[in-house]
Amino acid sequence: MTEKLQTFVDALKQKDPAWVLDVVSAHGETTVFVGRENIIDACIFLRDEHHFDMLADLCGGDLGPEEDPRFFVNYHLFSTTHHSRLRLKVFLPEDDPKVASATSVWKTANWHERETYDFFGIIFEGHPDLRRILLPSDFDGFALRKDYPLRGYEPYSLN
Amino acid sequence: MMETVAENSQAAENVLDNALESEMTLSMGPQHPSTHGVLRLDLRLDGELVLKAVPDIGYLHTGMEKLFEYKKYQQGIVITDRMDYLNPLGNNLAYVMAAEKLLGLEIPERAQVIRVLFCELQRIASHMVWLGTHGLDLGAMSPFFYCFRQREKILNLIEAASGGRMTPSYFRIGGLMMDLPAGFTERCKQFLDDFPEAMETFDTLLTGNTIWHSRTKGIGIISREDAISWGLTGPCLRGSGVDLDLRRDNPYSGYETYDFEVPVEHDCDVWARYMVRIRECYESAKIVRQALERLKPGPIKANAPKIVLPDRDDMRKHMDSLIHHFLIVAEGFNVPPGEVYHAIEASKGELGVYMKSNGGPKPERVHFRGPSFVNLSALPEMVKGEMVADVVAVIGSLDIVLGEIDR
């Protein structure tokens, strides 16, 4: 981890030690694991105090039905001034895949969260318009979950 | 008789009043030519004014991110070609660099230079399609033909090296598919000698055109703060006055050693985004020229026999090369567990690849952060309060490719 990234992680820990569950540094990237109840506070703190003004990407993932917690959501933060990148990661259990929406922090979170909902069924609470974006509105199931078969359950018809 | 006439005109007036007062919803696309693919916009209109726009995407969705999880790492490269089909080499680069980051591979100098060379040629080709179609959308027919002539020359160069025009799959994990063909440097130099001059002749068709000015200036404004919050990247962001280019600020493939400028415009409108891309074409040509000068003989594949396919010649002479070839093709190679996010400056903005490996020969999750997807999400903000005809101008200035948005 570079010194610069270390200062951001330290600042997060200093602000509230309960926010940072774990820090992993690999391949020149730093991942901070944050509890889902604190993610929005952590995002606002990093945006306002440490110039992480852009959400480069937000994506979900599924570790498989046998894992607990099963889902994760990545927040790839980027700064247009000091050009650092930081990944925040939230784990969500299968029976309650809910996390607060980041649309109030960055407007770009809107479509990313819709996509994540569309593919994984993760609910972003407080999202202004949480509906499917790439798949048809009457699509059944969540296609990128590990237990969803590659070709679907039955041939999809446009009727 | 007089009464009925009066009644009729009164009724007609009522209808007219209602029409003027009521808002109209217009569904634009998905087959509309200016939507650059299959994009549908739901527009709420008051006369010709756009009150609200809601993009509807997903018509080209083919589940590529799901498909990656069922293919070996090296098989995924072919899928990336089909995302942003105007910038396939950029997609290749983002994907293979993410895998190389996980594997910790060192890429030889010559391969790096050739990657930069082709990415910049591809950027010019992508901007040529944008310039041609953007002009066409707003009624300027002739630049289209000039632009496509230049693009054709670049596609010929890509074809000479890789065998493919739109789907080259030229960059492989650990290096390149094969070395440059004989005579490539001369052909490329010939193109570079002709290009800036040709570009100037058809660039003036629009840049100095009064009609073009009035169609683009002050249209589709997005402020600097909004552009950052909406996650705009690439020429769209630089058109809003943010000096950010990942080639310079998060350098990869040795971009930090090249000498080029990053064009920035401060007008925040369609015209600004137009000017940024026009100036970028000249800068890209400069980078290609520098790359050509640096081209020294050397290996084009990393020294990792269990990951990189051996040369055909080696396979005929060495038993172990043959075994490696068989194993890579039949079983693939294992990638150490971990996750990376690698972002490059593609022709349309930040193209990020998130890749997660669980140690096997197939990725556990691959996610593409396409610049078109994010740039399009800001469209409703840009067209609010504009005329219907300007919606076309704004879409053109975003330079979207639906193949990448829908994935």
**Cross-strand bridge partners of residue A156:** none
Closest to B377 (Cβ–Cβ): which among A59, A108, A119?
A108
Query: Domains plus CATH for chain A?
Result: 3-125 (3.30.460.80)
Number of neighbouring beta carbons within 10 Å of residue B60: 18
Is residue B389 classed as helix, strand or coil in its secondary structure? helix
Over residues B242-276, the pLDDT tens digits come to: 999 999 998 998 899 999 999 999 988 999 999 99
Report the DSSP pairing between strands B171-172 and A54-62.
unpaired
The CA-atom distances, in angstroms, between B21 and each of B46, B210, B385 are 8, 35, 17
Q: Decide if B407 touches A, using CB distance below 8 A.
A: yes
**pLDDT of B185:** 92
Nearest to B158 by CA among B149, B168, B150: B168
Average pLDDT, chain B: 89
Question: With bands split at pLDDT 50, 70 and 90, how would you rate the model's confidence at B31?
Answer: confident
Residue B3, pLDDT > 80, answer: no
Model pLDDT for residues B173-188, shown as the tens digit of each residue: 988 998 899 999 999 9
Residue in A31, A53, A56 closest to B369 by CB: A56
pLDDT tens digits, residue range B271-317?
999 999 999 999 999 999 999 999 989 899 988 888 999 988 888 99
pLDDT of residue B138: 87
Identify all chain A residues contacting B244, using CB atoms and an 8 Å cutoff: 80, 83
Angstrom distances, CA of residue B328 to CA of B68, B113, B168, B302, B348? 17, 26, 21, 15, 34
Q: Which residue has the tokens 């990656």?
A: B68
Q: Is the pLDDT of residue B5 over 60?
A: no
Interface check for A28 against chain B (CB to CB < 8 A): the answer is yes
pLDDT < 50: residue spans in chain A:
none
Chain A residues within 8 A of B63 when measuring between CB atoms? 143
Instruction: For tokens 């999880």, name the residue.
Output: B69
Q: Could you tell me if B96 and B171 are in contact, meaning their C-beta atoms sit under 8 angstroms apart?
A: yes
Query: In the prediction, which pLDDT does A105 show?
Result: 92
pLDDT at position B188 is 92
Q: Give which of A5, A27, A31, A137 to mutate to test B binding, by max B Cβ within 10 Å.
A: A27
Mean pLDDT score, B226-251:
91
Question: Cα distance from A151 to chain B (closest Cα, Å)?
Answer: 10
B64-406 in CATH: which number? 1.10.645.10
Is the CB of B231 less than 8 angstroms away from the CB of A106? yes
Local structure of B141: helix, strand or coil:
coil
Is the pLDDT reported for residue B10 higher than 80?
no
Closest CA to B325 of B338, B308, B337, B339: B308
pLDDT of B241 over the 60 cut = yes
Residue with the two structure tokens 């008051």: B46
Q: Quick check: B2 pLDDT over 60?
A: no
Residue A62's beta-bridge partner residues? A71
Show me where the domains of chain B are located. 2-56, 64-406
Q: What is the spatial distance between Cα B324 and Cα B370, in angstroms, rounded to a whole number?
A: 34
| Mean pLDDT within B130-159 | 90
Q: Mean pLDDT across the stretch B385-400?
A: 89
Interface of B with A in 312-331 (CB under 8 A): none
pLDDT at B337 over 80: yes
pLDDT above 80 for B13 = no
Residue B8 pLDDT grade (very low, low, confident, very high; cuts 50, 70, 90): low
- In chain A, the residue whose alpha carbon lies closest to the alpha carbon of B357 is A63
- For B282, other C-beta atoms within 10 Å of its C-beta total 17
* Cβ-Cβ contacts under 8 Å, A85 against chain B: 250, 341, 343
Provide the ipTM: 0.91
Please list every residue in chain B whose beta carbon sits closer than 8 Å to the beta carbon of residue A61: 356, 364-365, 367
Tell me if B369 and A111 make a contact (CB, 8 A cut-off): no
Contacts of B229 in chain A (CB under 8 A): 53-54, 106-108
Please compute, for residue B377, the number of CA atoms within 13 A of its CA located in the half-sphere on the CB side.
29
Degrees to nearest 5, angle at CA A51 with A46 and A54? 85
pLDDT of residue B198: 86
pLDDT digits (tens, 9 = 90+) for B162-217: 988 889 999 999 889 988 999 999 999 999 999 988 888 878 888 888 989 998 99
Q: Is the pTM of this model over 0.80?
A: yes
- The reported pLDDT for the residue numbered A7 is 85
**Given the structure tokens 């217009």, which residue do they identify?**
B26
Provide φ and ψ at B277, rounded to 5°: -70, -40
Residues B86 and A53: their CA atoms lie apart, in Å, by 29
Tell me the pLDDT band of B93, cut-offs 50, 70 and 90.
very high
Predicted confidence band at B96 (pLDDT cuts at 50, 70, 90)?
very high
Residue B193 pairs in a beta bridge with none
